[in-house]
Amino acid sequence: MNTLPTTDSTRLGISVVTSAWNIERLVGETIRSVVSQKQPGDQYVFVDGASADRTAEIARGFGDQIDVMISEPDDGQYHGIMKGFDHATGDIQGWLNADDILMPWTFSVVREVFDRFPDVDWITGSPSFLSDQGQLTRVYSKLPAYPRQFIANGWFSKTLGGYLQQESMFWRRGLWDKVGGLDLKYALAGDFDLWTKFARHADLVPVDVPLAAFRERPGEQRSSASEDRYQQEVKQICADKPRATAAWRFLANRGTVARSFARLMIRGSSPAIVYNRRTRDWQMTTARRSISRQSLGTLIEEWRLDRLGEE
């Protein structure tokens, strides 16, 4: 793994950026999930794209708990994120969409993991999901493998490995600087492109605990509301990359059951970080695992629920 230097090994500062636009109903919960756990040296950057509702007003109500507040027209979410990272000072970085949340322990875990493992440059937590009402509805508890070449090739996509969860990602500042951040020519799949670039330089290391939750709002999120355009961008990003095996591609296009089975069967070796309850510390493990983030039992139960919904 590539090692990128930090500025302070005793207290690693964390910078989180949120880019928001017209999301007054949910933005307060998002902001609270960040500012409630900040420590000296941490930073929250909030970028509002000149919302027509109360989004900016709600953010300003948090006062100096938000370290950098920007409210001005921009060219979309990724443009706002890039502006936010221009102000980021932390050793560790991540961004949080304005309808998602961090877990209450996220800063503590992230800081300890990056401090304990100086060779780790990029981490993610267990995928977790919120309902539109803010209830935690799912946590994928199976520890997966994230083969670096799979990510670099764009194989963690909708039908192959499944998308990587952006809100759970944290990385060292040097990794972001090395790849130049987001490519603004992608309006919807900029994070997908960023992961392929990160993977050229660093392993994605899963931490066996939820770090953030994605709020499911069917039809409202940009990627779900513009699925065709999103997939066009993914196809463009992957155009010059190696393709997955013909067998994997065949199964991936045979429906959810076949796709999920393929993910369980495909295995790789990659590092992971787990908490040892006996020694009471985080430890690194490297083993061959499937790339699936769901166990066979969980997949069967979801299949049963889907069948019930069809009756």
Cα separation, 257 vs 254, whole angstroms:
8
More confident residue, 11 or 195: 195
**In the predicted structure, residue 2 carries a pLDDT above the cut 60:** no
Phi first, then psi: give them for residue 3, nearest 5 degrees: -105, 125
More confident residue, 269 or 81: 81
Percent of residues in the chain assigned helix, strand, coil, to nearest 5: 35, 20, 45
Contact 166, 97 (CB under 8 A): yes
Cα separation, 156 vs 307, whole angstroms:
26
Res 311: pLDDT:
54
Contact 232, 140 (CB under 8 A): no
Res 4: pLDDT:
42
Task: Record the pTM.
Answer: 0.92
Count Cβ atoms below 10 Å from residue 21 Cβ, excluding itself: 20
Task: Give the burial class of 182: count Cβ atoms within 10 A of its Cβ; 0-12 exposed, 13-18 middle, 19 or more buried.
Answer: buried
Cα separation, 70 vs 87, whole angstroms:
10
Res 310: pLDDT:
60
Res 167: pLDDT:
97
Q: Would you state the structure tokens that stand for residue 71, as one six-digit string?
A: 């409210």
pLDDT tens-digit readout, 201-222: 999 999 999 999 999 987 655 5
Cα separation, 162 vs 296, whole angstroms:
16
pLDDT tens-digit readout, 25-62: 999 999 999 999 999 999 999 999 999 999 999 999 99
Contact 177, 15 (CB under 8 A): no
